[in-house]
Chains A and B, each alone.
Chain A
Amino acid sequence: MEDLGVGIGWRSEIDLSVERMAGVDFVEVVAENLHTDHLPESLRVLRERGVPVLPHAVSLSLGGAEPLDTQRVEHLAAVARLVDAPLVSDHVCFVRAGGLDSGHLMPLPRTREALDVLVANVKTAQSIVDTPFALENIAALLEWPDAELTEARFLSELVERTDCLLLIDVANLYANARNLGTDPAAMLDELPLERLAYVHVAGGVEVNGVYHDTHAHAVPQEVLDVLGELCARRRPPGVLLERDDLYPTDAELAGELASIRDVLAAHA
């Protein structure tokens, strides 16, 4: 995996900020928010400057047991071609089932059967998209009963069987530690970090004892600490800040990118 550096999630609400900000080595776009016939001006400018643009999908429902919606995969493939992407990604989750759309990323049962379904769907998606695929761990507020595999084992086998890359979200590791009592360090020990594509960092907020990974609040020090744990094991090829709402000033965003660089420098 080539070195991506430090990046930020491109959103139309902060397009100028992202364009002007110093030290943005790469950006990520939510694939579903782009049309396949034209690029927003700001992304065109970034591409002209040589900044890599990585499409990130949120709706493929790759862990869903219903037939894969290949039109959504085709859209991702078209967006990847449009931005000449080195890599695309989606999540280890399901989104839709039984005619209902959750509008969010739902956890999978960590069973052999669920893994088989996910592997089959990822292979189908890989056959449609001519770009390397990375899959991301999600933050969950609930767990399925009767897990047969740890999350790290589940992800490791997914990587082995599909040859996909990993997009590790350290904010999600932190959220799961807070809400489900999981151990981020133990999970990082077990993950095949040599297959790491890049890392997500984001902020959240605690409400009534539950930590919500909102992407709308400042990045807590604890999330940067998990990033540090990861960097202590292996230097990530890239780290990307996700901010999706309640946008702060450009200076605050730049400050969060600087904090990420500090963590990377501390483990260089």
Chain B
Amino acid sequence: MSREELAEQQAALLRALLAGGEVPPGFDAERLRVEADALLAKRRRVVAMLRPDLPEALGARYRELFDTYGRAHPRHVGTGMRADANAFADWLRERGEISAPPKRSALARLLRRRD
């Protein structure tokens, strides 16, 4: 096997886990489902941490809406978690799930400036 073939196998696994791709040959479909759910849950937690205004605004619907967004928009190389969280907010706004851009408190702005 070549390095290119291994790269393609790794890409196929990530497509299956993140982008609705087919289960690659030899893998256990149930384990892939568990892993896919775990990866989505981790991403959902990180987005909630970076944009606490979103779970706050959506309440119990946060999880379902994030999972719909996340499955349709796998995170690409070069997109950081903060950009991902903001893209989710844009997606929510386009669908009318949240209204105006969320207000940031003066303290939050101050803290962000120190990053």
A residues lining the B interface (CB < 8 Å): 64-66, 94, 96-104, 106, 109, 111, 113-114, 117, 141-146, 210, 212, 245
Contact = CB atoms under 8 A, between A and B. Distances in A.
A141 B4 CA distance: 25
B38 interface: yes
Question: What is the interface of chain B mostly: helix, strand, loop, or mixed?
Answer: helix
Contact of A100 (B4, B38, B46, B75): B75
A97 B7 contact: yes
Contacts of B25: 145
14 contacts: A65-B7, A65-B10, A94-B10, A97-B10, A100-B14, A100-B75, A102-B39, A104-B39, A106-B10, A106-B13, A109-B9, A111-B1, A114-B6, A142-B34
B75 to A, nearest CB: 5
A14 to B, nearest CB: 14
Contacts of B43: 103
Given A141-B38, A142-B31, A143-B31, A99 B77 contact: yes
- By Cβ-Cβ distance, the 3 closest A-B pairs, closest first, are A98-B11, A145-B26, A65-B7
B57 to A, nearest CB: 22
A144 B27 contact: yes
Given A98-B7, A141-B35, 19 more contacts: A65-B3, A65-B7, A65-B10, A97-B7, A100-B11, A100-B14, A100-B77, A101-B77, A101-B78, A103-B75, A106-B14, A109-B6, A117-B3, A141-B34, A142-B31, A142-B32, A143-B31, A145-B25, A145-B27
